[in-house]
Amino acid sequence: MNQELVWPITDQAGVRHLTRVDATGIEQDVIGWLLTDGVPINALVLDQDNRPLGLYVTQHGTQRLVSPRLTPTERTVRRGWLDRLPKPERPRAHVLIEVAPEGAIGHACAAVLDVGEALASTGRPALSVRQRHTLTVRARQASDQGLLSLAEAVDDLLAEPLTPAAVLKTTLLAERVRVLCLDS
């Protein structure tokens, strides 16, 4: 027996859709903690079967893209792409946790994720000059590191016209690559 949770939504044109999610599994877990925590869902992207591919939510005052199929269930907050790196502090008497640096691939993925998040939150139909430059540099870095799927996804994002599917694909790939680089 296959059970599904049915979630009625209304699009901008006023047409009602029934979104379907399996009753068990990671999709339901991710959407469940969003709803349980009261995180506002601003928009969502559906596939042809009316299953959610991506949810744009407001969390801690910023827009965030969450994919029910690929988002890990841990709740982490990333730094913004225009934030400055903190200045090194004086050594303390003891250190509780030592965090390994992300490295070149991690920084490239973080920059791609931040541009994707900015695009998703603003809904701009085109990249700004700074975003285009950031993505061009990061696509080159990904290609040089042998990450061809990430480089192609970023190149798709650089192509005109800018589509929500390209933003979703690129951010999901960048997040997966970043997580894999941190685990290794």
Across residues 42-63, what is the average pLDDT?
A: 82
For residues 183 and 102, what is the distance between their CA atoms, to the nearest angstrom? 10
Please give the pLDDT value at position 139.
Answer: 93
Residues 6+ apart with CB under 8 A from 101: none
Question: Which pLDDT band, with edges at 50, 70 and 90, does 41 fall under?
Answer: confident
Q: What is the pLDDT of residues 103-152, one digit of tens each?
A: 888 888 989 999 998 888 887 888 999 999 999 999 999 999 889 999 99
